[in-house]
């Protein structure tokens, strides 16, 4: 079942890179008591994700925060080392938190997986964005395969 507006974000564990190395982070803890703009991409370093999706959120980070977003986060079914390297390459430090969903637990739990096997990617998370307030989804934007419109930083800004 796909997550919907009004649903609570499922309890899963992400991995983030810290100064002390990889650390586990529960979704319950991450989303509690604040407003998070979360977006999901099919893969780090992939064309649309690297050229448009992540850069849009890096560029619009201050505007999102001025509209009440406490944290901006990107998730993908990639390991924490890839997510960390991609965030650094994109200049996301201090603007976008890179949440590794290495085993796809989050993508499966929200019902938003895709089959990227024909590209050698296996099962990945779909391209989507959401606003999460204190653990509850208040906006959800799921892209059609191959599209990049609804999950952009600009579209999310218009929803705040």
- Spacing of C-alpha 128 from chain mean position: 8
Confidence bin at 117 (pLDDT 50/70/90):
confident
3-class DSSP state of 144? coil
Render pLDDT for 25-34 as a digit per residue (tens, 0 to 9).
999 999 999 9
Q: Enumerate the active-site residues.
A: 49
Q: C-alpha 131: how far from its chain's center?
A: 10
CATH topology of domain 13-159: Glutaredoxin (3.40.30)
Task: Give the residue-averaged pLDDT of 126-136.
Answer: 96
Tell me, yes or no, if the pTM score tops 0.85.
yes
Query: What does the alpha-carbon distance between residue 98 and residue 95 come to, in Å, rounded to a whole number?
Result: 10
Identify the pLDDT of residue 107. 96
Range in 41-50, 88-97, 123-132, 143-152 with the lowest mean pLDDT: 41-50
Residues ≥6 apart with Cβ < 8 Å to 139: 5, 129, 130, 131, 156, 159
For the chain, which residues make up each domain, given as ranges? Answer: 13-159
């Amino acid at each position: 079942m796909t997550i919907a507006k009004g649903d609570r974000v499922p309890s899963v564990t992400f991995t983030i890179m810290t100064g002390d190395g990889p650390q586990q982070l529960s979704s319950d803890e991450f989303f509690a008591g604040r407003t998070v703009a979360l977006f999901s991409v099919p893969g780090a370093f992939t064309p649309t994700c690297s050229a448009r999706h992540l850069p849009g959120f890096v560029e619009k980070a201050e505007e999102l925060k001025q509209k009440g977003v406490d944290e901006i986060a990107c998730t993908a079914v990639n390991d924490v080392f890839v997510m960390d390297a991609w965030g650094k390459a994109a200049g996301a430090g201090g603007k976008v938190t890179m949440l590794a969903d290495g085993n796809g637990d989050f993508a499966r739990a929200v019902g938003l997986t895709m089959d990227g096997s024909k590209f050698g990617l296996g099962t990945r998370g779909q391209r989507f964005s959401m606003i999460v307030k204190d653990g509850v989804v208040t906006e959800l934007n799921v892209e059609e395969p191959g599209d990049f419109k609804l999950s952009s930083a600009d579209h999310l800004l218009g929803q705040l």
